[in-house]
């Protein structure tokens, strides 16, 4: 079945440093989604990438989707303490009747040292 | 902004007991999901539900699990005879019409089986 792998598992950075997490899928994806989960919280949708080679930006966050649509990355520039949390990539897989189940990576837990 | 809600926030139960976890998806959404997250691990798909029936279920979703949409707003997950390994955070999610892939997660129910 579809597997989604993420590295690194943990990342500790000094506030102001950059951060990158990488995601790889065992299968070609129709799209890839990124979610953020704050400590004790629930996954919150950040973005969806659909096109091969797509790059999207949200303020200090830059998301990329690989040309082969099997890998993706999230880069945060100049981290802040509010960026703390676990960042998950997720690959949708079509279930029956038009619904999509998400296969999540294990996530990258980001700690930011003030 | 509409949100997915879940009750209770925390449920403690004894092994072998039945539990029902409740969710109220976003009102105009049509696709509903249950996921679980064992502490410190990734989010795992359990089941998807559309048009009053299960679209797909994972290997985790065995005969002890069932889902129901008893009325126009609630979406429930029942575990008939809980096991210690069922202890986890259970997230309900919903998504709009097909073609909109992002899923909106509720705050979760922490299930502790003793």
pLDDT per residue, tens digit, chain A (114 aa), is 778 999 999 999 999 999 999 999 999 998 999 999 999 999 999 999 999 999 999 999 999 999 999 999 999 999 999 999 999 999 987 766 666 788 999 999 999 999
Based on its alpha-carbon atoms, the radius of gyration of chain B, rounded to whole angstroms, reads: 13
Question: In chain B, which residues have their Cβ closer than 8 Å to the Cβ of A95?
Answer: 48, 55-56
Contact of A97 with chain B, judged by CB distance below 8 Å, is answered with yes
Say which of A31, A99, A103 has its CB closest to residue B50: A99
Residues of A in contact with B58 (CB under 8 A): 101
Interface contact flag, B107 A98, Cβ < 8 Å: no
pLDDT for residue B99: 57
Q: How far apart are alpha carbons B34 and B56 in whole angstroms?
A: 11
Q: Terminal CA-to-CA distance of chain A, rounded, Å?
A: 41
**Closest Cβ–Cβ partner in A42, A45, A96 for B91:** A42
pLDDT digits (tens, 9 = 90+) for B11-67: 999 999 999 999 999 988 989 999 999 998 899 999 999 888 998 899 999 999 999
Condensed to tens digits (0 to 9), the pLDDT of residues B67-104 reads 999 887 899 999 999 999 999 999 999 988 665 578 89
Query: Which string of DSSP letters, residue by residue, matches chain A?
Result: ---EEEE-SEEEEETT--EEEEEEESS--S-EEEEEE-TTS--EEEEEE-STT-EEEETTEEEEE-TTSSEEEEEESS--GGG-EEEEEEEEEE-GGG-EEEEE---EEEEEE-
């Amino acid at each position: 079945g579809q597997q989604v792998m993420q590295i690194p598992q943990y990342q500790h950075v000094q506030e102001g440093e950059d951060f990158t997490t990488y995601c790889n899928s065992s299968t070609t994806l129709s799209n890839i989604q990124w979610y953020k989960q704050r400590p004790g919280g629930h996954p919150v949708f950040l973005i969806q990438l659909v096109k091969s080679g797509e790059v999207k930006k949200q303020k200090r966050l830059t998301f990329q989707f690989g040309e082969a649509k099997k890998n993706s990355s999230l880069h945060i520039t100049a981290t802040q303490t509010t960026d703390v949390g676990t960042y998950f990539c997720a690959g949708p897989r079509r279930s029956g009747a038009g619904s999509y189940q998400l296969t999540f990576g294990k996530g990258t837990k980001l700690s930011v040292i003030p | 902004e509409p949100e997915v809600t879940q009750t209770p926030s925390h449920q403690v139960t004894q092994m072998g007991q039945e539990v029902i976890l409740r969710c109220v998806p976003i009102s105009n959404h049509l696709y509903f999901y249950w996921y679980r997250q064992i502490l410190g691990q990734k989010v795992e798909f359990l089941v998807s539900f559309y048009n009053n029936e299960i679209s797909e279920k994972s290997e985790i979703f065995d005969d002890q699990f069932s889902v129901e949409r008893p009325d126009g707003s609630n979406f429930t997950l029942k575990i008939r005879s809980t096991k210690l390994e069922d202890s986890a955070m259970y997230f309900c999610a919903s998504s709009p019409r097909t073609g909109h892939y992002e899923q909106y997660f509720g705050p979760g129910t922490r299930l502790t089986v003793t």
